[in-house]
Chains A and B, each alone.
Chain A
Amino acid sequence: MVDKIIVTIIGAAAIMFTYWFFLMKKDKEVLVSDSVDIVVEGGYSPNVVSISKGKTTKLNFIRKDQNTCLEEVVLPDFKVRKYLPLNQKVTIEITPQKNGEFKYSCGMNMFHGKIIVR
């Protein structure tokens, strides 16, 4: 009986931890002026970049992760889908014309990043 109570308590704690760990994280926003290097390794770092409206900004993606899930990056609002060769810089230039938050992701939509335009 004791074991069942312990399993229940640990289980409930694990569920809460999972929720907090994955779903309550706060992303750090990085202010970008002209160009930013985004390292692709288990996700995007930095994964939230803030850029200026109407200004051409270079996003340099460097994939260091062998995971094929991350081999493509998709910026749907800017109509970009790019293959990222391993350990090589791929520059995507964007000139946002409106304010807002624009998400980008890997080709399978498993990893996410955000571009904030102000």
Chain B
Amino acid sequence: MSETKKTFSIKGIHCASCVVLLEDSLNKVDGVLKATVNLATEKATVVYDSNKVTDQNLAGAVSNVGYKALIGGAEKNESDEKSEKQKELRDLKIKVVVSLFLGGLILWGSFPGLMETAPTILQSFLVQLILSTPVQFWAGWGFYRATVLTLKHRTANMDTLVAIGTTVAYGYSAFIALFPNIVATIGIEPAPYFDVAAIIIGLILLGRYFEAKAKAGTSEAIKKLIGLQARTARVVRNEKEVDILISEVVIGDIIRVRPGEKIPVDGVIVEGESSIDESMVTGESIPVDKSNGANVIGATINKTGTFTFKATKIGQETMLAQIIKLVQEAQGSKAPIQRLADLVSSYFVPAVLMLAIATFVVWYIFGAPPALTFALLNTIAVLIIACPCAMGLATPTAIMVGTGKGAEQGILIRDAESLETAHKITTIIFDKTGTLTRGQPEVTDIISVNSMSKDELLILAGSIEKGSEHSLAESIVKKAEEEKLALSKVEGFQAIAGHGVEGIIDGKKIMFGNRRLMEKENIAVGATNNEIEKMETNGKTVMMLAIDGKLSGLIAVADVIKESAEDGLAALQKLGIEVVMITGDNQRTANAIGNSLGIKRILAEVLPDQKEAEVRKIQAEGKIVAMVGDGINDAPALAAADVGIAMGSGTDVAIEAADITLINKDLRSVAAAIVLSQKTMRTIKQNLFWAFGYNIILIPVAMGVLYPFFGILLNPIFASGAMATSSISVVLNSLLLKQKKIDFKINKLIN
């Protein structure tokens, strides 16, 4: 038997009875000798036989009674991660302060022009050696450690360059400090460079400190999203309301939400109504009114009313969890623009090492006297100035900030490649039904052609359409219900395919349908014809009602254009993007809707399965095409487009075929997504330009190429300063993206 003792945290302990429950459960595990649970520290200490008991057994015993054990790496929570990071930063800060302080003292005692003011003790080489040794081997220990470990893998990174550079400076100086006479006899002035080694280490660590702080900001969006999650839910069980942990909610639970509370999981309202602030998830700033039957989203906030809802999605299935997953995936993906940086960075450090050796040789052979000193200092400068990190950070930090920023606005980007392609879009094709329009036809006009009232017409139309399965019928019945009209009984109902319906109400023969029905029945349309054509030109579908063979009235139905369509399309046109509308509607109706939105290119009478071909036709014109659709019926067209943009529906955010999903359903977000892409790409290009430019220009300067012409050399201390600022500047530039307004409100968008 191998007795082991383990202490681990348990999530969810809040009372003394929890302790008893947990201890019982843990003690029942075969092989556990003793288990104690501490309420105050929320920790369990278990003594067990490690041959019989695994971490999984212990975690299982804890979860069996409804709690969560935090054992091992996978369970490490975010706060532990945070405190680990904070400790790292604290240690780094101490090292920075000590190295710069000691480095400063050495500099004071050794820098020509400054050293004369320093106390004599600081001018002593041996004192400088003593001061710089802790900087070199305590503060700079990390560089050595990393170098040894990487060399084992036959790779090298920035630490290798810093370790070699500072060791050369320190070693050369130490030799001079210890054996000044030997150096003097070979004709070299005994001048050590302890200041170079110490200050380089101090400045590079300072750069790392700021870089780590700034980098934490790039993943803020994800942390914010995770923080949105509710912790508890008030569930109605056995007719009693109990507060339980969100992890214990099961599908089908009835959950009560009071004003001001967070909705814990996704579900459907079963009782009550309220206004709900969904801005944190969808980016939609105006609260949405919801009542019985409406979907609610977990992590959104209930503003005014109290309601109960049935949980339909929990855990990883909730909309918030899906959003988090999608954003995490996007942040883990790679943009094609990064390829060159990838290629360069795989050869970069070995190349710099070779250049540094070449620099030493060339300066030693051809350099001005004292050649050895110049050769050494320039070699160190080359090793120190090179900054591969800036190249590595240029693209991913911008992608992280960009995708996070999008998520805050309800724009979910699948991967870095989609974000990159979006800025090249030249043409956007919008599906009409359900995308530009609400997708739910509504009654727009009721016109009586005789003495009948509008209500009477609607009662007859609604009654006869009640039995119809036609999509337009639903809107008429709905309208009648909205007007609270009592529908009549219909006898002899009959649907005439492609024409309309007929039936008998109160002994009168009612016919309701299109122009073809009237023609078939020889019912004169007469003077109302102009009215009908006018409505059709406005994109409405007109149906005619005849009683006993005489036309009595007209009912027009139209799909209503979304409120955000006009602004959304105007924003795209301002961005110089061609807008195309695609629809299965007849040309006249399509033209009517297209014209009202200022769309010049309209593709009408396109069957659903032809949409993909239309996308490809436009691509063949050399255009970069985005297709905007609902993501369900348009999946092949979305997949065929260079960028497929889906308008999210309900609580389903992970639309497979889409590159970008707009969960706020706001058409202005299409332009916002493109602006976001443009701004992110601009940031990436600036970063890459800076990172490449920095290395391409400063490495040759450090090698001394300007010396023969202008007498310019790069002091290794300045090299370390430049190197420390280069990677921070890249990260800070990416963070600037956060400040940029990428709002989908048109007035802000154009700026």
Residue of B nearest to A3 (CB): B364
Known: A79-B330, A79-B415, A109-B392. A91 touches B74 (CB 8 A): yes
A100 CB-CB contact with B under 8 Å: no
Q: Does B332 lie within 8 Å of A69, measured CB to CB?
A: no
Give A76 to B354 CA distance when docked, in angstroms. Answer: 30
Give 17 pairs: A residue, B residue, CB < 8 Å, sorted on A.
Answer: A8-B361, A11-B357, A22-B155, A44-B153, A74-B396, A76-B332, A80-B332, A81-B328, A82-B332, A85-B73, A85-B76, A85-B80, A86-B84, A108-B388, A108-B389, A109-B391, A110-B349
B748 CB-CB contact with A under 8 Å: no
Known: A15-B358, A108-B389. A65 touches B350 (CB 8 A): no
A66 CB-CB contact with B under 8 Å: yes
Residue of A nearest to B416 (CB): A76
Give A45 to B155 CA distance when docked, in angstroms. Answer: 12
Residue of A nearest to B154 (CB): A25
Q: Does B146 lie within 8 Å of A67, measured CB to CB?
A: yes
Beyond A43-B150, A68-B208, A89-B74, 11 additional pairs, beta carbon < 8 A: A11-B357, A22-B155, A23-B350, A43-B155, A44-B153, A82-B332, A85-B73, A86-B84, A108-B389, A109-B341, A110-B392
Contacts of B331 in A (CB 8 A): 81
Quick one: CB contact mask for B77-116 with A, threshold 8 Å, 1 for yes? Answer: 0001100100010000000000000000000000000000
Q: Does A15 lie within 8 Å of B341, measured CB to CB?
A: no
Give A96 to B345 CA distance when docked, in angstroms. Answer: 26
In the complex, identify which listed stretch (B27-35, B45-53, B156-164, B474-482) lies at the interface while the others stay far away: B156-164
Q: Does B361 lie within 8 Å of A11, measured CB to CB?
A: yes
Known: A69-B146, A112-B346. A85 touches B155 (CB 8 A): no
Tell me the smallest distance from the CB of A111 to a CB of chain B, in Å: 6
Interfacial residues of chain A within 70-87, with CB under 8 A of chain B in the complex: 74-83, 85-87
Give A48 to B231 CA distance when docked, in angstroms. Answer: 41
Q: Does B76 lie within 8 Å of A110, measured CB to CB?
A: no
Contacts of A12 in B (CB 8 A): 361
Tell me the smallest distance from the CB of A75 to a CB of chain B, in Å: 7
B437 CB-CB contact with A under 8 Å: no
Interfacial residues of chain A within 100-114, with CB under 8 A of chain B in the complex: 107-112
Known: A89-B74, A110-B388. A4 touches B80 (CB 8 A): no
Q: Does B73 lie within 8 Å of A90, measured CB to CB?
A: yes
Contacts of A76 in B (CB 8 A): 332-334, 416
Contacts of B332 in A (CB 8 A): 74-76, 78-82
Q: In the complex, which of the residues B148, B341, B354 has the most CB atoms of chain A within 10 Å of its own CB atom?
A: B354
A42 CB-CB contact with B under 8 Å: yes
Residue of A nearest to B215 (CB): A107
Interface range on chain A (Cβ under 8 Å from partner):
35 or more
Give A110 to B387 CA distance when docked, in angstroms. Answer: 11
Tell me the smallest distance from the CB of A19 to a CB of chain B, in Å: 7
Interface residues of chain A, those whose CB is within 8 Å of chain B, are 4, 7-8, 11-12, 14-15, 18-19, 21-23, 25, 41-45, 47, 62, 65-69, 74-83, 85-91, 107-112
Q: Does A45 lie within 8 Å of B360, measured CB to CB?
A: no
Tell me the smallest distance from the CB of A97 to a CB of chain B, in Å: 14
Give A8 to B361 CA distance when docked, in angstroms. Answer: 6
Contacts of A86 in B (CB 8 A): 84
Q: Does B212 lie within 8 Å of A4, measured CB to CB?
A: no
Q: Does A11 lie within 8 Å of B360, measured CB to CB?
A: yes
Give A26 to B157 CA distance when docked, in angstroms. Answer: 18
Q: Which of B72, B342, B350 contacts A22 (CB 8 A)?
A: B350
Q: Does B346 lie within 8 Å of A21, measured CB to CB?
A: no
Quick one: CB contact mask for B328-352 with A, threshold 8 Å, 1 for yes? Answer: 1111111000000110011101100
Known: A22-B156, A66-B145, A68-B212. A89 touches B150 (CB 8 A): no
Known: A66-B142, A69-B157. A22 touches B329 (CB 8 A): no
Give A11 to B415 CA distance when docked, in angstroms. Answer: 46
B353 CB-CB contact with A under 8 Å: yes
B705 CB-CB contact with A under 8 Å: no
Contacts of B158 in A (CB 8 A): 69, 110
Give A14 to B72 CA distance when docked, in angstroms. Answer: 45
Residue of B nearest to A74 (CB): B332
Tell me the smallest distance from the CB of A14 to a CB of chain B, in Å: 5
Q: Does A83 lie within 8 Å of B81, measured CB to CB?
A: yes
Residue of A nearest to B388 (CB): A110
Residue of A nearest to B363 (CB): A7
Q: Does B349 lie within 8 Å of A22, measured CB to CB?
A: yes
CB-CB nearest 10 A-B residue pairs: A42-B149, A88-B73, A43-B153, A76-B334, A81-B332, A11-B361, A108-B392, A109-B392, A22-B350, A79-B329
